[in-house]
Structure 1
Amino acid sequence: MAHDHTHVREFFGARAADWDARFPDDGPAYAAAVADLGVRPGDAVLDAGCGTGRALPPLRDAVGPAGTVLGVDLTPAMLDAAVRAGRRSDGRLLLADVARLPVRPAALDAVFAAGLIAHLPRPDEGLRELARVVRPGGRLALFHPLGRGALAARQARRILADDLRAEPNLRPLLAGSGWRLESYADEDARFLALAVRQG
């Protein structure tokens, strides 16, 4: 487990400083995905694997001053970059493992997770932990500002049949972790899977 985390930390730690500069046009896509998550004023939401905190401003806008926004990431350099970007005012930033969250069961209304699932050492455990902290009927958004094809093209690789984000793989993975896949979009300009916490 430690080995996996070291790799994730090194990968994102090395990229944290210029992460936002590399992807400057993603803001509207994040805001649109948060809108589709259907968060309401007063809700408690988690940005799981928040990175530099790009989703925190739209999440804060959605829940309003009475709501709660948590941003959790495993990489200190990413959270440092979020603080430098002024995002501490949008949510509480926590250094923690998404697979072991310091959050009470059923405490949250929704989880937003951008680019997370590909980086979980054990995706089923991570998704089960996210289910633990969300109330029945609460929602999960698995988001990426590029669809699978566009992302593969950018990384000069093929999409593999065992890609977790492929709908035939993702649906049972979610179902086995306490979620029901509600909608699935894999377009050039975004990937967005929305799921509901099963009671």
Structure 2
Amino acid sequence: MAVVVVQRASAETPAAVSGALVAAGLTLRRVPSAEGGAAPLGLGDAEGLILLDAPDAADTLAPALVRAALAAQVPVLALGAGAGLLTDLAARAAATETLDVRMEPTPAAATDPLFAGSEPPPHTFRLGGSAWVVRPAGGPDHAPGGPFDERIDQLLFRYAELVAARAQHTTARAFFTQRADAWEERFAYQAPAYAAAVTRMRLRPGATAMDLGCGTGRAMPALRELVGPHGRVLGVDVTPAMLCAAARHGRTHHGHLLAADCTRLPVPRSSVHGIFSAGLLDHLPDPRAALAEWARVAARDGVLLLFHPSGRAERAARHGRPLDPEDLLAEHNLRPALTSTGWRLDEYEDATGHFLAHATLAG
């Protein structure tokens, strides 16, 4: 896990910055703010971004990194002179309506993920939900490379802990944000397979159905047809850019789109009759926790359908590797994982052209 630190090539990274990152198990990667050209790494390789310096007029790298980070909701912390870059870019983005970046003062707000339960430094602001700014107070303590006061030291440790905790989601958002615009067209040919899989859920009209890890919402039209006009369809994904793409492709006509972590769903207990999930479970850091959460929100006799438009052997061959006996989706692994989290595996198909596992909520 890495955090990119943007500062002038001649400056030393403050010990408080490097110390906080190391303590959280993070790697520091410096990017000189005066170098133009292409970024040396994509946001898929970084879980956080710290800005310590304002870039030169000729610098194209730092603004590009910041714009990409804001779009993908990578946690950004701007200190001292770096605050100017972040606030300027945020103001421009807001003016052109390309990003949701409202400037809000955050005096130890109870709901702020960085400042809750602490006293923030003065001149502190939050931009949107994933960027924080500590503006220069006019003294030498805020100079790049100089010492920070105690509150900023504490802030750095809290930021590093937040980055480490969000790392899995940050990587996923960065990966899919870059691909969201082309995703629907690239995989449009799979729509019939998704529709056929959804019918296997056998939901009644009026039921509530959820597409977990919905991406651009390819399963949502079929789910709507299954539950009818009086049913409810939710498309849930952790990447806002994918949900925006889903909206552009008309998925809001079929249901509601929700940005959320699939292991902590903002959904009442026993409220969902059918959960459809394609290509998600085996990519999660804690699949059993996810299955337990899905069981929590499932109604009595709720249905879970795990799907992929390719079989396991086909996907393994595509990546040039043999089938892995430790693969979670292998039946001998999936069945006990489902059983231990409250599900009963009813149907299992690992065919050449698709993977499908149908489970119902036990007891």
TMscore range, shorter length: over 0.9
Alpha-carbon RMSD across the aligned residues, in angstroms, is: 1.0
Structure 1 contact 8–119 (Cα < 8 Å) conserved: no
Counterpart among 108, 115, 125 of residue 272 in structure 2: 108
Distance across 2 between alignment mates of 1:93 and 1:172: 31
* Equivalent residue, structure 1, for 2:331: 167
Q: Is the 8 A contact 1:51 1:79 kept in 2?
A: yes
* Unmatched 5+ stretches in structure 2: 1-164
Structure 2 length as normaliser, TM-score? 0.54
Aligned partner of 2:194 in structure 1 is 30
Gaps of 5+ in 1: none
Partner residue, 1:150: 314
The aligned amino acid for 1:107 is S
State the partner residue of 1:17: 181
Distance (Å, rounded) in 1 between the aligned partners of 2:202 and 2:295: 17
Specify the alignment match of 2:210 in structure 1: 46
- Is the Cα contact below 8 Å between 1:106 and 1:132 reproduced in 2? yes
Q: Name segments (4+ residues, structure 1) moved above 3 Å.
A: none
> TM-score, structure 1 length as denominator?
0.97
Q: What does the per-residue CA deviation read over 1:118-160, in whole Å, with 9 as the maximum and x for residues that have no partner?
A: 2212100001000000012110000001111111222333321
Instruction: State the distance in 1 between where 2:202 and 2:256 align.
Output: 20
Structure whose alpha-carbon radius of gyration is higher: 2
Q: What CA distance in whole angstroms lies between the structure 1 residues aligned with 2:282 and 2:246?
A: 21
Aligned partner (choices 237, 262, 279) of residue 73 of structure 1 = 237
Shift, 1:181, TM fit: 0.5
User: Deviation of residue 9 (structure 1)?
Assistant: 1.4
Distance 2:293 2:207 in 1: 19
Corresponding residue for residue 305 of structure 2: 141
Establish whether residue 57 from structure 1 lines up as the match of residue 210 from structure 2.
no
- Is residue 129 of structure 1 aligned with residue 301 of structure 2? no
Quote the residue 1:185 is aligned against.
349
Tell me, in whole angstroms, the C-alpha distance in 1 between the residues paired with 2:181 and 2:319: 20
Structure 2 Cα separation of the partners of residues 119 and 93 of structure 1: 21
For residue 270 of structure 2, give the secondary structure of its aligned residue in structure 1.
coil
Question: Identical aligned pairs, as a percentage?
Answer: 52
